[in-house]
């Protein structure tokens, strides 16, 4: 999967605009400070078509970061109503995507094209009254990143949704509870807040909410238009008032075998199979109500007339990994671990794989270290840096102190992440998918039986179809009932029609699994499918299910006026997702003293789960529940492990040191981390492989470089101590002697590159010969001053060093396709073990690799999709 093209856009903080009274006059140099990259989307495309400007800088749109805007409510309201001026151009309020709403970002468009852009977005549809939050959320879909597919108008058929009732579900839900309390003035007051109730009810669900199917020819066409390296069999679509996912299905064969030769759409129009179709359920077409005039097929024809008239296009936001690309190990987060009912011994065992992974890298294990660095036998040359080029030239360089320090520094974030529960688990994020067999039956007017029972799901990876129990998780995870255990199965129907749907988790249509997963649907939501038997031990499958019984409720309709829109935006700027999640984490990690206290905490967490779901959908529904006073009062002191959850959390002063499993694991990993960072290399390194023996070193040149080296070591030491003191501001506040405030300390960064350039330039003046300089640097660091700073070699002499390193043919990891399993094959291919003399293979993050000589660039396949690095894989996942 590759990302859409990026464009440069200006993004300003709200405070800057307030300080300048919404008028900014910036030089081009000053503007550079506020440029950010934003992936292409349909709004950018509309602006390009109106202005004719297709450059990489997008001047007609400006983003404003309004996080913390609650402190400036009147100023923020003024900005929304009046807009801002930049270089004499006036910008007025524009659209927000869902992620922008959650992160408090607004967009403003150049007033000279604002009216025309609005006309094209609305397609001249105007309503006197509507649910503004939902309407503008649909409009904001145009700001979602996507590949714009020009001049392609596939046949899209809207088919009816399918609802069914799941009987006798034991659930916990939110109800209003009137309480009485005494305020700070001593007055008695009534207060209505949410509390948890329990009942057994029948639950009505939309079985295919946000999803549909498409013909194999559609997959082929999208692959061609996007330039995808692999077949996009699961596609997340974007178009005006259209959002959702379809999956490739050979519906034509399916229907012909069952005597079905046409299908009927939501307006009663029949369609044959004369051309490939995208079959979207009604829930995917958000504009049905807005374009409704005659309540028949002419309404759909009118949509497409407007679509073409205003120059819109179909967009593809994301698609699925191929089976080879899909990671087999994924770093989970603390939320799905903190509510497992496990002994500490069992819980701590979940960290073993992560610990072993890091230790192998630090020890210089060639295969693990090379995989971590993305250094595979078919790695293109341009993807390398100085360290990896050195290892590629001679794999013994993995033992060199500078390379090893580089590896340890890269690992730092991973080690800190481990401490807050971000551990490697045998798991993968997959598209949540409703049973496509059941969907085809429904669309074709057949008996809706499906291919899965109420406790079953279907999925596979490079090793073949899943079998047995798995955990299904979704972020954010708040309460215990959001752990869903399903049984992985396969059968003839699934093998025949779904075995190409890689990177999907196909669930049955006979249970309330999506509703359990914090109100998930099928329009692109990802779930984490986990194969960790220890975690299964910590899940109670019989507890009542926490559900929002009013998840489809929305705010009242109101006039679509500038004033109404401004008030709606102000309401939805109040994002409590993080606050709700943190509050739940506090109660998860308290240690209740009695069963009664434990039950109270669990009821709090269950209610927070419902509140969090409301907060996530707030921009669309306009509905929000506040955290009850009694829950918020004691929900502030976060557990100790959260200090590693990010920069904001690390700056907090107070943490709870309760003996929760995650806190105990964090303390153990802190001790482990110290031993890892200061561990001695397990193998002796022969530094002479970095020397060119044919070069004579003049004494005068050596002494000149030596003096620069000693100055380098001294200044690096001083800067390091300064940085350490500032990072630990409270401890060294007196020694800093008022030179820096706490606020400045939090934002303090040393420009290390400035100092490296300073010493590199000084060295070049006294020793212009790069190979000679490298020899001198190696002799200084490894012979004369072996205990001093060895970064000097890489910072001032890397070019010559790479020439001097003694070349040696080495072996590097290459994905072993013969050691994997074909999910479509009738029987698994045996995986070679390490002791297989004929074909040794090795495991890394669940995949098998063999060692191979490095393939020269002319032989390389530049498609490295089979072995994405961890960061690449996670960027794609999170970007979804």
pLDDT digits (tens, 9 = 90+) for 168-205: 999 999 998 887 777 778 888 777 788 899 999 999 99
Across 31-64, b (16+ Cβ under 10 Å) vs e yields beebeeebbbbbbbbbbbbbbeeeeeebbbbbbb
CA 237/CA 355 separation, integer angstroms: 40
Instruction: Say which residue the tokens 């001083």 belong to.
Output: 718
Task: Write out pLDDT tens, residues 251-296.
Answer: 999 999 999 999 999 999 999 999 999 999 999 999 999 999 999 9
CA distance 372 to 394: 17
Beta bridge partners of 158: 280
Report the C-alpha gap between 798 and 774 in whole angstroms.
Answer: 7
CA within 13 Å, CB half, 299: 18
User: Residues for the chain: how many in total?
Assistant: 880
Residue 830 has pLDDT above 70, yes or no: no
Residues 517, 480: contact at Cβ < 8 Å? no
Residue 683 has pLDDT above 90, yes or no: no
Is 191 in contact with 629 (CB distance < 8 Å)? yes
Q: What is the pLDDT of residues 1-37, one digit of tens each?
A: 688 999 999 999 999 999 999 999 999 888 999 999 9
For residue 834, what pLDDT is reported?
40
Q: Quick one: which H or E segment has residue 47? A: helix 42-51
Element (H, E) at 517: none
User: Tokens at residue 320, please?
Assistant: 């699925």
Task: Report d(CA 577, CA 617) in Å as an integer.
Answer: 10
More confident residue, 551 or 734: 551
How far apart CA 223 and CA 359 sit, in angstroms, is 41
Would you place residue 738 in the very low, low, confident or very high pLDDT band (cuts 50, 70, 90)? low
pLDDT band of residue 354 (cuts 50, 70, 90) is very high
Q: Give the relative orientation of helices 729-736 and 699-727 as an angle to the nearest 10 degrees.
A: 110
As a whole number of angstroms, the distance between CA 796 and CA 102 comes to 45
Residues paired with residue 559 on neighbouring β-strands, in sequence order: 129
Tell which phi-psi region holds residue 401, choosing left (phi > 0), alpha (psi between -120 and 50) or beta: alpha
- Whether the pTM exceeds 0.85: the reply is yes
- C-beta of residue 509 within 8 angstroms of C-beta of residue 435: yes
Pick the range with the lowest mean pLDDT from 158-167, 481-490, 843-852: 843-852
In 3D, which of 793, 367, 401, 385 has the Cα closest to residue 393?
385
Q: The tokens of 404 are what? A: 């090893």
Tell whether the model's pLDDT for residue 836 goes beyond 50: no
Nearest to 396 by CA among 427, 371, 366, 437: 366
Contact 481, 299 (CB under 8 A): no
As a whole number, mean pLDDT of residues 848-875 equals 58
List, in order, residues 6 or more apart from 508 with CB less than 8 Å away: 435, 438, 450, 452, 453, 454, 455, 456, 457, 486
Q: How far is CA 111 from CA 92, 542, 572, in A?
A: 6, 57, 24
- Token pair listed for 233: 């069999």
CB 504 within 8 A of CB 459: yes
pLDDT confidence band for 554 (50 / 70 / 90):
confident
CA-nearest of 567, 552, 550 to 620 is 552
Residue 743 CA to chain centroid, in angstroms? 29
Element (H, E) at 617: none
Q: What are phi and psi of 776, to 5 degrees?
A: -65, -45
3-state secondary structure of 26: coil
Dist. CA 632–CA 630, nearest whole Å: 6
How far apart (Å, rounded) are the C-alpha atoms in residues 242 and 661? 44
Q: Which of 236, 241, 325 is nearest to 291 (CA)?
A: 241
Statement: residue 729 has pLDDT above 80: no
Question: Strand, coil or helix: what is 89?
Answer: strand
The predicted pLDDT at position 675 comes to 87
Give which of 32, 66, 27, 60 is closest to 45, Cα–Cα: 60
Q: List CB contacts of 578: < 8 A, sequence separation 6 or more.
A: none
Q: In 246-295, which residue ranges form alpha helices assigned H by DSSP?
A: 251-257
> Is the distance from CB of 278 to CB of 214 less than 8 angstroms?
yes
Mean pLDDT computed over 41-69: 93
- Dist. CA 617–CA 204, nearest whole Å: 20
Q: What is the mean pLDDT of residues 414-439?
A: 97
Helix (H) or strand (E) holding 278: strand 277-281
Determine the pLDDT at residue 470.
97
Do residues 565 and 132 lie in contact, with contact meaning Cβ atoms separated by under 8 Å?
yes
Query: Do the bridges between strand 811-815 and strand 558-559 make them parallel or antiparallel, or are there none, so unpaired?
Result: unpaired
Contact 611, 580 (CB under 8 A): yes
Q: Is the pLDDT of residue 707 over 90?
A: yes
Beta bridge partners of residue 147, listed in sequence order: 316
Determine contact, residues 389/616, Cβ cutoff 8 Å. no
The pLDDT assigned to 801 comes to 96
């Amino acid at each position: 999967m590759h990302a859409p093209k990026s464009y440069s856009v200006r993004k300003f903080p709200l405070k800057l605009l307030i300080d300048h009274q919404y008028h900014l006059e910036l030089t081009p140099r000053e503007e550079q400070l506020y440029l950010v990259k934003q992936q292409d989307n349909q709004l950018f495309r509309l602006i390009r078509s109106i202005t004719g400007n297709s450059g990489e800088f997008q001047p007609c749109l400006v983003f404003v970061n309004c996080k913390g805007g609650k402190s400036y409510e009147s100023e923020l309201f003024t900005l929304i109503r009046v807009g801002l001026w930049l270089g004499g151009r006036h910008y007025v309020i524009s659209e927000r995507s869902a992620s922008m709403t959650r992160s408090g970002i607004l967009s403003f468009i150049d007033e000279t094209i604002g009216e025309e852009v609005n006309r094209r977005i609305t397609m001249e549809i105007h309503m006197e009254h509507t649910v503004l939050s939902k309407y503008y959320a649909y409009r904001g879909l145009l700001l979602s990143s996507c590949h714009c597919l020009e001049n392609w108008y596939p046949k899209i058929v809207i088919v009816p949704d399918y609802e069914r009732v799941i009987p006798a579900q034991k659930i916990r839900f939110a109800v209003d509870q009137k309480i009485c309390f005494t305020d700070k003035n001593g007055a008695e007051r009534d207060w209505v807040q949410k509390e948890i109730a329990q009942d057994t009810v029948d639950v009505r669900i939309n079985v295919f909410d946000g999803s549909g199917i498409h013909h194999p020819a559609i997959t082929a066409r999208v692959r061609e238009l996007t330039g995808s390296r692999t077949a996009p069999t699961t596609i997340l679509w974007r178009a005006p008032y259209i959002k959702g996912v379809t999956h490739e299905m050979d519906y034509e064969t399916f229907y012909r075998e069952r005597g079905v030769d046409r299908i009927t759409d939501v307006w009663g129009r029949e369609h044959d199979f004369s051309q490939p179709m995208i079959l979207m359920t009604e829930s995917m077409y958000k504009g049905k109500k807005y374009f409704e005039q005659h309540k028949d097929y002419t309404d759909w024809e009118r949509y497409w007339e407007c679509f073409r008239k205003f120059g819109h296009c179909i967009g593809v936001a994301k698609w699925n990994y191929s089976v080879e690309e899909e990671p087999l190990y994924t770093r989970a987060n603390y939320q799905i671990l903190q509510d497992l009912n496990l002994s500490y011994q069992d819980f701590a065992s979940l960290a073993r794989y992560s610990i072993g992974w890091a230790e192998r890298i630090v020890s210089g294990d060639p295969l693990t270290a090379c995989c971590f660095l993305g250094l595979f036998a078919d790695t293109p040359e341009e993807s390398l840096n100085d360290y990896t080029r050195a290892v590629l030239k001679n794999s013994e360089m993995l033992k060199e102190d500078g390379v090893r320090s580089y590896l340890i520094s890269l690992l730092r974030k991973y080690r800190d992440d481990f401490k807050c529960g971000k551990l490697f688990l045998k798991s993968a994020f997959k598209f949540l998918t409703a049973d496509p067999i059941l969907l085809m039956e429904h669309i074709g007017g057949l008996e809706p039986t499906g291919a899965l029972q109420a406790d079953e799901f279907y999925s596979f990876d490079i090793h073949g179809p899943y079998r047995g129990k798995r955990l299904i998780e979704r972020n954010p995870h708040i309460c215990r009932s959001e752990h869903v255990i399903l049984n992985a199965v396969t059968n003839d129907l699934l093998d025949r029609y779904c075995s190409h749907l890689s990177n999907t988790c196909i669930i049955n249509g006979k249970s309330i699994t999506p509703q359990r997963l914090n109100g998930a649907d099928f329009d692109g939501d990802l779930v984490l499918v986990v194969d960790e038997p220890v975690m299964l031990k910590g899940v109670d499958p019989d507890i009542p299910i926490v559900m929002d019984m009013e998840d489809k409720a929305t705010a009242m309709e109101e006039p679509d006026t500038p004033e109404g829109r401004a008030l709606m935006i102000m309401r939805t700027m109040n994002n409590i997702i993080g606050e709700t999640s943190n509050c739940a984490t506090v109660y998860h990690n308290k240690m209740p003293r009695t069963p009664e206290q434990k039950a109270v905490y669990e009821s709090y967490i269950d209610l927070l789960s419902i509140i969090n779901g409301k907060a996530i959908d707030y921009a669309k529904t306009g509905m929000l529940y506040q955290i009850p006073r009694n829950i918020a009062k004691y929900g502030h002191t976060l557990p100790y492990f959260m200090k590693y959850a990010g920069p904001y959390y690390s700056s907090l002063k107070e943490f709870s040191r309760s003996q929760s499993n995650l806190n105990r694991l964090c303390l153990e990993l802190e001790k482990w981390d110290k031993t890892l960072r200061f561990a001695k290399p397990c193998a002796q390194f022969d530094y002479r492989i970095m020397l060119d023996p044919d070069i004579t070193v003049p004494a005068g040149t050596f002494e000149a470089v030596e003096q620069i080296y000693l100055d380098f070591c001294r200044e690096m030491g001083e800067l390091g101590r300064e940085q350490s003191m500032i990072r630990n501001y409270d401890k060294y506040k007196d020694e800093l002697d008022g030179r820096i405030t706490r606020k400045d300390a939090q934002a303090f960064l040393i420009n290390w590159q400035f100092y490296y350039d300073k010493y590199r330039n000084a060295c070049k003046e006294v020793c212009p010969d790069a190979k000679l300089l490298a020899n001198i640097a190696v002799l200084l660091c490894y012979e004369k001053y072996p205990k001093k700073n060895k970064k000097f070699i890489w910072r001032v002499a890397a070019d010559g060093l790479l020439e001097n390193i003694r070349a040696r043919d080495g072996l590097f990891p290459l994905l072993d396709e013969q050691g994997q399993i074909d999910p479509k094959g009738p029987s698994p291919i045996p995986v070679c073990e390490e002791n297989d003399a004929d074909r040794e293979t090795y495991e890394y993050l669940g995949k098998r690799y063999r060692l191979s000589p490095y393939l020269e660039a002319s032989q390389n396949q530049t498609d490295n999709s089979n072995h994405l690095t961890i960061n690449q894989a996670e960027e794609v996942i999170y970007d979804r």
